[in-house]
Amino acid sequence: MQGGSNPQFTPVPPIYPWYDRNPLDVSINWTLNGAIPHVNTLRASYTVPANRSAFLTGINGEMRRITPATGTGYHRMQYKIDPVAGGLRAFLQLTGRGEAEDDGVFLMLSPQMILVAGDTVTIYSTDTSPDGVVAYEASFVISEFDA
């Protein structure tokens, strides 16, 4: 090698993944054991705080009829995202149509969605049956981190 050159290397600072920057696990849970028929009702809500982002890692839901209904109808849970950029999206809906005792629906899902500051996730429930009682259980599992 001529001229005795010695290349200089500048160290590059490490780029840490999202989960290494002040993470916070958030669990939004809603349980109601004994709901009578009702209109579409907001049950739980979470808004990503300013200067944070969130990773939606899990959705769980279960509906089970506790007492039978005498007529037709449905019981439903809706999971919605209201993006800060606009436009409401119902991205998941569980619907049960059974009127008999113990008729139910169960869901466990891992959507792996990134949410930005101001985005809101919500859970709604509805029961259009003429009577009877339904048990609901719903949750979002979220990892919140620096934006």
pTM, to two decimals: 0.80
pLDDT tens digits for range 101-121: 888 899 998 888 899 999 999
Confidence of residue 100 (pLDDT cuts 50, 70, 90): confident
Under DSSP, the state recorded for 7 is: -
CA angle 108, 114, 116 (to 5 degrees): 130
Give the number of other CB atoms < 10 A from CB of residue 135.
16
Going by C-alpha positions, the residue among 74, 72, 59 that lies closest to residue 126 is 74
Our separate counts of H helices and E strands in the chain read 0, 9
Highest mean pLDDT among 3-17, 52-66, 95-109 belongs to: 52-66
Confidence of residue 6 (pLDDT cuts 50, 70, 90): low
Residue ranges and CATH numbers for the domains of the chain are 22-146 (2.60.120.20)
